[in-house]
Structure 1
Amino acid sequence: MVVGQDYTNHRVCRQRHASPGKSGSRPRHLRYTTQYRRPRPGPGAGYPYLRSLPPAMPASSPFANPAPDTGLLRAELAAARAALAEAQARATYYQQLFEQQHRAVLIIGNGCYTDCNGTALRLLGLSRRDQLLGQPVGSFSMPVQPDGRPTPARIAEVLDQVRRLGWGRFAWLGRRHTGEEFWEDVVVTCIREAGQELFHVSWEDTSDRPPRAGSSYESENRLQLALAATHSGVWISHLTAGYTYCDQRARALLGAAEAICPHEALLPLLHPDDLPRLRAAFRQARRERQPFDVEFRVQHPTEGLRYLMAMGQVQFDAQQRPVRITGLLRDITDRQRTRLELIRKSELLEQMLRHLPLILGRFDRQGRILELVGAGLRHLHTTDNEGVGRQAGYLMQDMQEPIAQVLTGQHVRFVARGQVQGQPVYLQCFGFFDESQQCGVIFSINATESELSKERLRTEKEFSERLLNHSLDAIAACDQHGSVTAWNHIMERLSGVPASTMLGQQLPEFPVFAGDTAQGAALRSILSGQNTPHYNVPFHCHNQDCEANLLPLPMPEGSAYGVLVVIRDVTQRNQLAAEATRLQLRRQQEILSAVLEAQEAERRRIAEGLHNGVGQLLYAAKLSLPAGPEVQATRAVLEEAIRATRTISFELTPGVLADFGLKTALEELFKRIPHQHLPVQLHILNLPPRLPAPVEMAAYRIVQELLNNMLKHARATTALVRVAYRNQALHLAVHDNGVGFEPATGPQPGLGLPSIRNRVELLQGTLQLTSRPGQGTTVQITIPDTPAPEG
């Protein structure tokens, strides 16, 4: 028996095929397009079950009139010939309908195929009728139907239903001559003619056709979408027959070659260590008559070791005997590997806490300690969890303020200083608030030795700087007013001015420290009160390459600083290092380029996972909801989640940038900005259709990062972004009227400037940042469309 799925084109006129006892009636599943009389067909014409109809009555029949009138006989003969011609034409018409309709047609009699049309041969992959005719019913069907019943039993049930009702319609799992399985939608009509029972079978292959809305297969399609989204397959294990049916996905997950396999053929695919657990789960499900789910491993022929989850339930017959197990098979390889990786990381963290001077503390919203563990507690003379229930920071009062910041949701990084039993203790700490557990977390490492070492180094450094007065470098010093207080003999030789002349003179007025030089600007910044040393300031003097180190010198007043200047001749060193520097710069640019490329690749991978994984799961969940107002809110939440997933995917990997260029990508980016929070204007001038891909990507990421910083930190009310192309370079200008900051010394949380600088330097561009507290921020960037050649 052969089956299919589409019902739309089954339109055939068959008045002669009415069921016995309903003369002249039409089967309800047939639709008529034209009404015809019912002439008696001639011999050999039309359907095979019409070929046995008798011809028109001959003139020599004993029932003819004994003395017919010649004219009347001629008229009757002409009428009979016309009726015969009409019957032959009608029989030819029905034969053409039988042969030419797009649905496959089979005639079944005495349990065999007795006739077929060309469409049936084509869909079954046959070339001749004798390959089909005479074959028993079910020869071109799968041995087991999807409901788990053998095909012969299913055929008997279907034919019995058709005998009782006159017709039937159902789905079937067929098999072509090549062995390929396919889905069919079948319409069967029972025909009784001259005491003979025939079955007219009309079917269609619908394996690759999407179901019509509202059809009975729409739910099946949704189920298949859900199975595909969750990487799941269907399996049916027939316990009495000893074989298992697997759909295409289940076969792909197991690595099985056949849809129907004996149980023994599947055992080599299963990991031997997991067989006892599988058998125990099945036995328990049979004994307790409860659904089961069990995880196991398979040795996939092509993909290696895979982790699967089998879910299902044992089914029983009328005598309460187990007959089959029906269930789903799901691929959990990625989840299992992630879980194992988390276990490994947890074990690693536990080992670190046991053997390294680390401390892990967790505390609730009231600041009470929930957990306090780690080998670093030994330096604080306490043990694991000894302080549970007490206020966090009781060991070191220096931690109270950072703990309060953590409880407000901030990330903090700080060094806690205190004393334990009269000894100084330093803890390098990092803290954050764990939203999932609703607790604060601070991870600390005992940095006492390193901090004490730093203090010793600072002391030694100050002592060393004083010793520079006796070094071979050129050394000069001035007080807080700029008057020269020291001028060694190397400085005399370098400058050509004796110490007797320079002592008491203004050092900022010396030509080497003119205001338009880097060393002059550094000198004036220290004299103005900025306690910031300036190291290795390069300058050129008397055909020599020099470097100046300018160090603040605390004055006795305590609030002012003089300046210690150390100058050395680095001409030869610069010449030797020039080549090495050039090679190192090239290497650094290559590494930076690889890092940025890896970041973009990771963003694309995450975006694809969100779009193809989470997005599809949400969409499948939405489709699985029944219609009705009671789930309207749930549907709205799912739609919002789908939109959020798409937005995150777009922000991670803007496909519009690669497809349409920088201008379109920026316009699309600005459409996604919540303008009710920050009105932003975008001006694009003379931008060519396309720029080199690295330039476009860098410009897009820079604008994206700066806009994110505005929304998070600037507290601005207006912002302006200008993008222009001139003189073979791309010019970006981003301005906001926010709170601003001090670029030289002020904190810059979350600005992302290192990332922006790296991108600009990689493309050999320039970046200028202008900002003042309360006066907003302006960032100007220039990127050449073709990087300059390396010297």
Structure 2
Amino acid sequence: MLCRAGTILAGAKKHADSGCLGAAQKSNILPAMSESEEVVCQPYIARERTLMRNDSTRSNISSDFQKALAQKEADAQWDYEKLLKLIAAVPDAYLILSPNLNIRLVSDAYLAATLSAREDLLGKYIFDALPENPATPDANAAENLHNSLKRVLNTKEPHQMELQRYAAPIPAHLGGGIEEKHWSPLNTPVLNNSAEVCYIIHKITEVTELVRSQEKVKDLKEERRLLQATLDQLQNIQQKLEEEQRRLEDAQTLGHIGSFEAAYPYDAISWSDELYRIHGLKPQSENIVFEAYAAFIHPDDRERYEKALEGFYKENKELNHIYRIVRRDGVERDLHLKGEIVRDATNRAILVKGTIQDITEQVQAQQKIRENEMLLREAEQVGHVGSYYGDIDTLTFRFSEGMFSLLGLEPEESVISLEQIDASSHPDDALVVRQILDQAIRNKQPYEYLRRVYRRDRQVRYLHSTGKVKCDSDGKAVKLIGIVHDITERKQAEEKIRQSELHFRTLIDNTPDVITRWDKDLRIVFNNQSFETNSDFPVPLLLLQETVETEQPENKRLPLKEKIREVLQSGETLDHYNSYALPHGRVYYHSRLVPEFSEDGTIQSVLVIARDISALKRLEKENLELRLNQQRELLLTIMETQEAERRRIAEALHNGIGQLLYGAKLNLDKLTKEVVTQDAIKMKASVIKTEEMLDQAIAQARTISHELTPSVLEHFGLEVAMKQICATLNTEKLEFQCLVFSLRNELERHLQISIYRMAQELANNIVKHAQATEASLLLREQKDSLVLLAEDNGKGFELEHIQTKGIGIKSLQDRVKLLSGTIRINSAPGQGTLIQITLPLTT
């Protein structure tokens, strides 16, 4: 491509110097060149002039040549003007721009497209001639064109712009105003021989009608889209309505809710399928009329039902009624009826509609709840238990009836504050309880506490509470839920046990005997004060010395630890004798090694009771060596008396009870033979004789039993001896209580011993066989009789198998029989055992 002068001269095949430029300047199509254009086009003009001079020289500048040259210049001028007209008349819309973006050439098509005049454009800066329309600042046509032209100048390559929107001003002679135009611009650079841009061809292709057609198509598409969206929405609504209808039917089925309606005046009622099913009918199997429906109403509810309908229709009352029906299959159901009257604009009733729900399960559940609440109240009353739940924000509580009862209050107030509870509590306990509750709420952890309360009847009760903190879905502590147990009796029992233990400990610590307890590893785990404060320092060592005395057989002369190990293995009680030489003489000890059993029957420790028998030994030695003959004779007399007494008891047992029992056996053998011969007179005489022998044996047995009395009974009495039994057997796993009431002081000695031995036997049987956690012994005087009760909550046994329980029960029965008493046993597997022994006081 050539610059403007080069293009014109090349088109004419000849070039003129000032004539081309002058002709161009005179033309209203192409204005004078700018200084920059002249500088760019000067090399082309000079070259053409040189060619023309060379041509003139070669032709010797003849006159004919001058004429021809003038003719050529005239032709060139004519061609140039014709070229300019041709360019202006091209059908496309063009602007020819200089590098500084001044308009040099405008096609007629451009003027028509932009509704502008040539004299308003030529020679002007393009953005002055075509400024941005302030009425359409969002079009950005000028900015987009400026960026494109700048890009062409920089890259020297054509640039196709995107579709542009331009608000073209309409000339005043055409009516004025603004017309929106759309065109597609193309900017093409014109380069000189030095590859510099000398012109830019700005071509626009108007696409206004095409854009408007596209917008119409777009509007049609949008309208179609809206129609389709509306159609889709209607379809969705239809689907939702169908889904809601299905859900309604499902909800009616799941909730056992049926609907009905009837128009005025009416006879038949329209029922939903579920309402048919509620009444035990197949859906839509028959038409329901008001008169026929009355047959479903339970006879006991029919009058209430009719009154409810009468109030609904005549008095315009709310229809909200619960009644029972009897289905045709005989099944009773509880129904909840709700109805309303639909009225028109004149307040005339036109429709009755409503719902009926089968609430049989709810009614049964409510009945079950009422029964459970009644059972809970009874259980709380029997177990001295109450329950509560409290609001943490307000520190107010709601109590069960049992809780009101524990506090000695009437259930008048529905809500009780913590301040009210603290006001009736021991001051020290109120502060501690608040601290425990605060810590439980902070940590959201379970809690427990003991509170002493003062009831209005002036009783002090010990209440033990356990509870937990309940949180909401956000993890915030909102409720306190707990139960309270009245443990006053337990506290009183614990206090009695503590006092009993204190008395027992005082007794143990003040006894002169040395008492120790040894575990399975042969370590001392308990000792009384005599073990620590004995004036003879080697007491612990004495217990470990070899046996040196002759009171035991040779095979039993073992160290104390060996004896303890043997007791742990065999469970038998053993004796141990030892001595130790001191500067002032030899010290002698007699120890009793007693096994101690755990609840499961295994041996867990050994109790060693060591008594200092040094004085006795010294006395024996003095009696043997130093005492006067009188003392020696007295000792011999005592020993002879003891031996005589032993012989007397032995003879009494052998010659008295033994002979009587042997005689009774012979009579029983004889009686057996007489039963066979059916001799009634002889049989009766044998029975009488046998009874006499047994009576004599019983009498002699009582006489002997009077002489055998336990020491604890002799020194402390029957009540202390009884309580010592329970205190000895009481463990963490077995709570053993002994109670003695209303005993006369003058009980016979043999009777005290017998009761003590029987209580011992009963207690030992409970420990060994019952597997109980609670047990008790109770002794009381009742109408000239002594009653001994032994009760436990252990495993129990079958009464018909009582003979298989070993000799314990049999021995107990024999003892009771010897005392002319009675024994009653009540037991069953899993229900514990109760044994009652009644002994007459007059016998």
Normalising by structure 1, we get a TM-score of: 0.39
Instruction: Name the larger-Rg structure.
Output: 2
Normalising by structure 2, we get a TM-score of: 0.37
